[in-house]
Structure 1
Amino acid sequence: MRIQAIIEDKLQALEPTFMTVENESHRHNVPANSETHFKVTLVSSRFEGMMPVKRHQQIYALLADELAGPVHALALHPYTAAEWAARGEARPNSPNCRGGGAS
């Protein structure tokens, strides 16, 4: 099973109303077809009343095995439904890689 699919499967535990898991490895200096850099945008009612750091900790706990192994970088964008609506349901852009040219 591909790493992206594993991440998507594990994050279902947060009962997302919206979720994207984007493999951004191609934007970094890694071999072709790598699965090392991901951006997660996730909207869940489970984040209500929770500070951002606690939201991140929940996601890190779910993905502990992946973060201990193949995943080098994980950009997290967790929102409540109201926060997501206030953003106009727009995913944040990722910065360009600063660790070298993309391959």
Structure 2
Amino acid sequence: MGPLGRLPGRRVRVRGASMAPTLSDGDTVFAARGAPAAGDVVLVTWMSRPGRLSVKRAVRLEPGGWHVCGDNRSASTDSRELGPAEVHAVIRWRLWPRPGRLR
């Protein structure tokens, strides 16, 4: 079963600076099932890091999964090092500290 289990979505706490300035360490977001599109913020895992969830931006679909990158590329470990990621959910809302829709 995936990170969402049987639920349609879940709250996720962001850790680290890889998604700055879009998201900051400690932000809480809502990740929901859905088909990702290039440019979406997504919840992912990599085969080389089973069970470890990451929040990244979807760049393009490629064989084996999605190429994803952090918005703060100098502080992000992402598909540039780990290869294609499996997308589990799309993140469209920040719940805390500044509630609102993500772009």
Q: Confirm or deny a common fold (TM above 0.5).
A: no
TM-score, reference length from structure 2 = 0.27
Q: Report which of the two structures shows the higher radius of gyration computed on alpha carbons.
A: 1
Q: Which has the higher helix share?
A: 1
Q: Which has the higher strand share?
A: 2
Tell me which of the two structures has the higher relative contact order, counting C-alpha pairs closer than 8 angstroms and 6 or more residues apart: 1
TM-score, reference length from structure 1 = 0.27
